[in-house]
A and B are shown apart, each in its own frame.
Chain A
C-alpha cells in the first residue's frame, strides 16, 4: 500500500499527461465531430481519407527528406566539434560557448535572425551574391530552395546542442585508453575509429533518437518563416497537424494524423530498445 502511495505522484502525471492522451487520441481518430458537438463513430474512415490526402503524403515525404538532411550532418558536425574542443587550447571555453549559443537563444529569435539571412535582395545571403553580381533570390519563397534553407538552419541549431553530449561523453573516457593505443602504434584516426567512436555509441544513439524526434517536432520556425509554403514545399508532419487542428478546426482528422506520428516515433523507440541497445557497449 505504501509503495503505491509513493508511486502515486509519478503515476498520476504519467497517466494524466501521457497514457490517457494517447488513448484519447486513438479513440478520437475513430470518430468525427458534428457541429452540435456530438461524435459519430466512423471506424477507419478518417484513415481512408488521410490515405487519399495529397498534402499528408507531401508532409510525410518532406519530413523524410528533412530528417535525412538534418540528422546525419548535425551528428557528424557535433562529433567533429566535440573532438576539436576536447583538448587544451586557447579560448576553449569561448569556443564551447559559441557552439552552444544556438541552443540557448529563443527559437523565435533564431527564426527571425535566419529570416533576415534569407530575405530576398537585402538579406545577408543575397548581399553576398551581390558581391559576385548575382541576382537576388527568394530563398524561402521558392519550392526548390526552401527545404535546404530550413535544413541548414536546423543543423546550425542542433549541432551545438549535440556537441555538449559528445563533449561530456569524451570527458568520461579515460585518457589511458588513448595512450595505450598510442603505445601500440595506432594512429589518431585508427584510435578514433576503433576505440573512441565505438565507446561513444551510447551517446550517438541518444543523440540520434533526439535528432529524429526533433525533426518531427519542428513547428515554431515554420510558423515564423514559411507557414509551410510555398505550395506546401516546407510543410512537415507536425506543422500539418497544427494547421488541421487549429486553423481548419478538424480535431478528428488531426487526431488521425497524430496517431501516425505516434506510430512512427514508437517504432523508432522499439528499434532502439529491441535492436540497437544490444549491439552497443555500455560502460
Chain B
C-alpha cells in the first residue's frame, strides 16, 4: 500500500497562502504530476508530502497511514531534488548508499544493491568519481540511484529535469517513466513543463495560486479543460481563446484549417516552420490566433487568409470566471466521440 492522499491540506506563510485547501490522491503505482507556473504552490505541496514542511491544516496519508506529523525518514519516501542535492565531497558510490549506511545495512548487502542500482541507472564505470567530475545528466542519474536504492514505495521528484538540456531532458523523461513503471513506485512529480506532464503522467494536477485548477488524466486536461487557465496552459502552442461577447471561444491550433472561402478572415503575422509542421500566427479581428498545419506552409506576413474549424472542436468559457460552459452545441458530439 503506497497510495498518497492529501485531505484539505493548507500551508501559509504570513498572509501568503502557498497551498490552499488542496485535496488529491495519487494511486498506488501511479505517476502523479503536479503542474503549474512558478509560485503556484506545487513544490510546497511536494515538500508537505515529503515532510520537509509541516501543513497548517489538513491531513496527509501514505498507504492509509496518517503521516502528517512524521519526519521525512519516518514516511519511508525517497526524493530527488531540483539541485540533485548530491554530497559534493562523497564519491558517486558513497552518495548512492548514503541512506543505507545511515540505516546500518551490512556491507555485503549494500554492495549488492549498489551494483544492481548502478546497472539500472548506468553508472557502473563512474562509482569512484566525485559529483563535480560528472556531467549534468550523470549527476541526475546519481540522484535517481540514491532515490531508488532504498526501494521506498514512494518517490518524490522536484523538477528533476529542469537543469538538463532539451535532448537529455527528453531521454531522461522516458527513462524515469520506464523506471517508475518497472519498479511499481508511486511517484509525485513536480514540473512547470506541460510537455513533461502530458508525456509522463497517469494523472495531472494543475495548480494555480495554491489551489487546484484541474485534476484529471492528460487526455481530460487536453480534451476538456475545465477553465480558460488550463486551456492556456496545456498544448504547444496552447489553445486559442477568442473573445466573443461574454464568452471565450477556445480552439486548439491543430483543429484550425486554412480554407479558400467562408470561415473567418485573418491576417498572417509570422510563420514558424518546425519541419513536420508549421505554426502560422495570425490575427482574427486583432485577437492573436495560432494555427498548426502539416508540412511546410507557404504564407508570408501580411497575407490575408481564411480560417475555419468544426463546431465540435469549440470549447466555451465564461469570460468573467474563466469556467467552462457546458451549453456548447458541439459538447454532446465531443463526448460521444471521445
A: which residues have CB within 8 A of B?
174, 176-177, 179-186, 190, 194-195, 198-199, 281, 283
Question: Judging by beta carbons under 8 Å apart, are B88 and A183 in contact?
Answer: no
Question: Judging by beta carbons under 8 Å apart, are B85 and A179 in contact?
Answer: yes
Question: Judging by beta carbons under 8 Å apart, are A283 and B88 in contact?
Answer: yes
Question: Judging by beta carbons under 8 Å apart, are B50 and A183 in contact?
Answer: yes
B-side contacts of A182, CB under 8 Å: 52, 71-73
| Stretch of B95-103, B174-182, B323-331 lying at the A interface | B95-103
| Stretch of B76-84, B120-128, B278-286, B309-317 lying at the A interface | B76-84
Taking the complex as formed, is B107 at the interface, i.e. its CB lies under 8 A from any CB of chain A? Answer: no
Beyond A183-B72, A184-B146: 11 further Cβ-contacts under 8 Å?
A: A180-B85, A181-B98, A183-B50, A183-B78, A183-B79, A184-B98, A184-B150, A186-B102, A199-B89, A281-B89, A281-B130
Taking the complex as formed, is B296 at the interface, i.e. its CB lies under 8 A from any CB of chain A? Answer: no
| Complex alpha-carbon distance, A50 and B85, angstroms | 56
Question: Judging by beta carbons under 8 Å apart, are B85 and A174 in contact?
Answer: yes
B-side contacts of A281, CB under 8 Å: 88-89, 130
Q: How far is the CB of A187 from chain B (nearest CB, A)?
A: 8
A-side contacts of B103, CB under 8 Å: 185
Closest chain B residue to A195 by CB distance? B87
B-side contacts of A179, CB under 8 Å: 52, 72, 81, 85
B: which residues have CB within 8 A of A?
50, 52, 71-73, 77-79, 81, 83, 85, 87-89, 98-99, 102-103, 130, 146, 150
Question: Judging by beta carbons under 8 Å apart, are A184 and B88 in contact?
Answer: no
Q: How far is the CB of A134 from chain B (nearest CB, A)?
A: 49
Given contacts A180-B79, A182-B73, A183-B73, contact A198 B89 (CB under 8 A): yes
Q: How far is the CB of B117 from chain A (nearest CB, A)?
A: 14
| Complex alpha-carbon distance, A199 and B72, angstroms | 23
Closest chain B residue to A199 by CB distance? B89
Q: How far is the CB of A180 from chain B (nearest CB, A)?
A: 4
Q: How far is the CB of A276 from chain B (nearest CB, A)?
A: 14
Closest chain B residue to A182 by CB distance? B72
Closest chain B residue to A281 by CB distance? B89
Question: Judging by beta carbons under 8 Å apart, are B88 and A199 in contact?
Answer: yes
A-B contacts, 14 listed (Cβ < 8 Å): A174-B83, A179-B81, A180-B79, A180-B81, A180-B85, A181-B98, A183-B52, A183-B99, A184-B99, A184-B146, A186-B102, A190-B102, A198-B89, A283-B88
Question: Judging by beta carbons under 8 Å apart, are B87 and A177 in contact?
Answer: yes
Q: How far is the CB of A192 from chain B (nearest CB, A)?
A: 13
Closest chain A residue to B97 by CB distance? A184
A-side contacts of B52, CB under 8 Å: 179, 182-183
Given contacts A181-B98, A199-B89, contact A176 B50 (CB under 8 A): no
Given contacts A184-B99, A186-B102, A190-B102, contact A176 B88 (CB under 8 A): no
Question: Judging by beta carbons under 8 Å apart, are B85 and A185 in contact?
Answer: no
B-side contacts of A190, CB under 8 Å: 102
Given contacts A179-B52, A281-B88, contact A184 B81 (CB under 8 A): no
Question: Judging by beta carbons under 8 Å apart, are B81 and A176 in contact?
Answer: yes
Q: How far is the CB of A10 from chain B (nearest CB, A)?
A: 31
| Complex alpha-carbon distance, A275 and B45, angstroms | 47
Question: Judging by beta carbons under 8 Å apart, are A184 and B102 in contact?
Answer: yes
| Complex alpha-carbon distance, A194 and B73, angstroms | 17
Please name the 3 residue pairs, one residue from A and one from B, whose CB atoms are nearest each other, closest first. Answer: A184-B99, A185-B73, A281-B89
Question: Judging by beta carbons under 8 Å apart, are A185 and B99 in contact?
Answer: yes
| Complex alpha-carbon distance, A185 and B77, angstroms | 10
B-side contacts of A177, CB under 8 Å: 85, 87
| Complex alpha-carbon distance, A198 and B87, angstroms | 10
Given contacts A176-B81, A179-B52, A180-B81, contact A185 B87 (CB under 8 A): no
Closest chain B residue to A198 by CB distance? B89
A-side contacts of B72, CB under 8 Å: 179, 182-183, 185
Interface centre among A177, A179, A180, A185 (most CB of B within 10 A): A180
Which among B83, B88, B102 is the interface contact of A185 at CB below 8 angstroms?
Answer: B102
A-side contacts of B89, CB under 8 Å: 198-199, 281
| Complex alpha-carbon distance, A177 and B50, angstroms | 15
| Complex alpha-carbon distance, A184 and B81, angstroms | 13
| Complex alpha-carbon distance, A174 and B89, angstroms | 13
